[in-house]
Amino acid sequence: MNTKLSLPVIKLLIMLFLTGSLAGCSDDDPAEILQKDRQKILEYIEEHDLDAYEHESGIFVVVEKEGTGEPPGPSSVVLMSYVGYFLDEEVFDSGQDVYLDLSRVVAGFRLGVMEFGRGGKGTILIPSQLGYGPRGSGDIPGNTVIIFDIDIIDYN
């Protein structure tokens, strides 16, 4: 049996192939997203003249005040105030004198808080993979860098 495809069918098949091939490119590549997030964070740090260091996890931390004592652990409950915002400085969350269980927050926030002692104050810049990831959460779009200004009061 000899089957010939018409020109419109061939064009459609080529378009479908190209669309499928391109859909798998870069936008979903975690390594590329991490690199783009890192570049955005570095640009933000430079634009705002921040004295930040890069944590081994990929978050960036600005220490305004270190605080005292041993830092909280990954399952500590921390009494703190915070403001969460995007790179354009639009605030998406805040809390004043609230208790947060570090085992129930995004990894980047937990790791950043663990860099401060009691009375510590600073900023945590979090790449999307250590924040809300590709799916986002509520008003936070997927693959979005987030920033938190934190003021740690106490923890157990």
Q: Which stretches of the chain drop beneath a pLDDT of 70?
A: 1-27
What's the confidence (pLDDT) of residue 28?
76
- Chain centre to alpha carbon of residue 73: 20
Please return the burial class of 81, using the count of CB atoms within 10 Å of its CB with bins 0-12, 13-18 and 19+: middle
Structure tokens at 66: 């270190």
pLDDT attached to residue 10: 47
Left (φ > 0), alpha (ψ -120 to 50) or beta: where does 119 sit?
left
How far, rounded to the nearest angstrom, does the alpha carbon of residue 121 sit from its chain's CA centroid? 19
CATH of domain 29-155: 3.10.50.40
Interval 117-150: pLDDT, tens: 999 999 999 999 999 999 999 999 999 999 999 9
Q: Give the pLDDT score at 7.
A: 53
The pLDDT value given to residue 83: 98
